[in-house]
């Protein structure tokens, strides 16, 4: 863990090399969003930002405390990347949606004002059935088809996206700038556990869903502060398989994937995890995208040297350029569902080594990621 000043020095390097620096897909992206993209790209050559889902929303035994995270309680700094979710922006009353926008806005703005990075997933409740984000067990869903142009719930979907756009534009830093965010819709789509999963829609339907989401936010509603992430689960072996449902370069800023399976959940198959990280890292280099390890972790962290022996060793594999890694959330009430240590957890000494390593960036290491 160390301070790294990004900004002017980086720009002069790029200018001097004559190389055309990769840019976000949105040519109207705000200056801060472009800077975030560029600086994440540059930092991925030197190390990796550490992220934690819902880190400042709640943790083990607490919720809603000001400027608190379990990670900060252990090492004195918040994670560099804070994961949030748009789950609460649909299938609720207009009043409840407004309340949720305000709750999220405060978290987003606080992270930006501290100099951290926000990534937002979308466990979207089913807008057709009114059910949860999980697919029903007894056969395929038809929800995606019904959300697409011509579908029975297309207008409802457009209204939900309008709420997302309204939220995006509402988030302003102390500096008056709109806050950049990494938006990661329709994740783990290669599994069948979510209603947008591979069993529940065709390849073309999924691509259309992804493209429509991006186009509606970016072009129809003028959202200029999102970077768009494409991230399956780990059910691919090759670049070709990874790209099967890829909507196209003009719709994606970041490629990544979620992988718990190879990192302890189903035993340790690190070579399999590294192989997949290599696929996304190589793809990002070739296509001028960012690469990220969008979700991982070991529930309850029973392996006391998991941070250095498993995660850090993996991320330091030769040739990888991964902008951030995010571990999943620490449930407020569950005795077992947590992925980052709290004070007194037996993995704390190893987590401190992970934190101290020059390869890992936490929030207090980010000096000017939006410039």
- The predicted structure's pLDDT at residue 139: 83
Residue with tokens 């992220």: 51
DSSP state at residue 143: H
Q: Where are the alpha helices (DSSP H) in 61-149?
A: 70-75, 94-114, 143-147
Whether 13 is in a domain gets the answer: no
Residue 166 near residue 105, CB atoms below 8 Å: no
What does the pLDDT look like over 145-192, one tens digit per residue?
999 999 999 999 999 999 999 999 999 999 999 999 999 999 999 999
Across the range 296-306, mean pLDDT stands at 98
| Helices and strands counted in the chain (H then E) | 11, 13
Give the helix/strand (H/E) hosting 52. Answer: strand 48-53
What does the pLDDT look like over 66-117, one tens digit per residue?
999 999 999 999 999 999 999 999 999 999 999 999 999 999 999 999 999 9
Distances 351 to 30, 32, 301, 302, 335 between C-alpha atoms, Å: 35, 31, 11, 13, 20
Whether 200 is in a domain gets the answer: yes
User: Can you give the CATH number for the domain in which 272 is found?
Assistant: 3.20.20.80
Domain that holds residue 231: 35-365
Whether 22 is in a domain gets the answer: no
Split at pLDDT 50, 70, 90, the class of 1 is low
Give the helix/strand (H/E) hosting 278. Answer: helix 270-287
Number of independent structural domains in the chain:
1
Residue with tokens 């934190």: 355
């Amino acid at each position: 863990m160390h301070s790294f000043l990004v900004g002017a020095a980086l720009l002069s390097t790029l200018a001097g090399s004559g190389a055309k620096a990769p840019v976000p897909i949105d040519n109207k992206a705000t200056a801060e969003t472009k800077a975030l993209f560029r600086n994440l790209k540059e930092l991925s050559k030197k190390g990796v930002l550490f992220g934690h889902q819902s880190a400042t929303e709640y943790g083990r035994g607490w919720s809603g405390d000001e400027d608190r995270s379990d990670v900060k309680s252990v090492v004195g700094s918040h994670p560099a990347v804070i994961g949030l979710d748009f789950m609460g922006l649909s299938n609720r009353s207009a009043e409840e949606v407004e309340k949720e926008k305000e709750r999220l806005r405060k978290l987003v703005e606080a992270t930006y004002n501290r100099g951290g990075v926000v990534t937002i997933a979308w466990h979207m409740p089913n807008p057709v059935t009114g059910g949860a984000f999980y697919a029903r067990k007894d056969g395929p869903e038809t929800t995606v088809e019904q959300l697409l142009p011509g579908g029975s719930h297309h207008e409802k979907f457009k209204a939900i996206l309008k709420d997302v756009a309204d939220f995006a534009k509402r988030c302003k830093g102390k500096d008056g700038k709109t806050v950049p965010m990494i938006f990661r819709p329709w994740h783990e789509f290669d599994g069948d556990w979510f209603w947008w999963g591979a069993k529940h829609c065709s390849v073309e339907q999924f691509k259309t869903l992804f493209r429509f989401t991006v186009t509606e936010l970016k072009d129809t509603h003028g959202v200029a502060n999102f970077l768009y992430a494409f991230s399956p689960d780990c059910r691919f072996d090759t670049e070709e398989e990874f790209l099967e449902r890829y909507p196209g370069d003009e719709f994606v800023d970041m490629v990544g994937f979620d992988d718990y399976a190879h990192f302890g959940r189903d035993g340790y198959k690190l070579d399999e995890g590294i192989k997949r990280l290599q696929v996304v890292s190589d793809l990002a280099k070739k296509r001028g995208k960012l690469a990220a390890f969008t979700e991982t972790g070991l529930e309850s962290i029973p392996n006391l040297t998991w941070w250095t022996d498993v995660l850090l060793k993996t991320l330091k594999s030769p040739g990888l350029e991964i902008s951030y890694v995010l571990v999943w959330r620490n449930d407020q009430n569950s005795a077992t569902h947590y992925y980052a240590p709290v004070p007194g957890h037996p993995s704390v000494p190893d987590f401190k080594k992970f934190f101290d390593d020059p390869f890992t960036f936490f929030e207090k290491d980010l000096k000017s990621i939006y410039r």
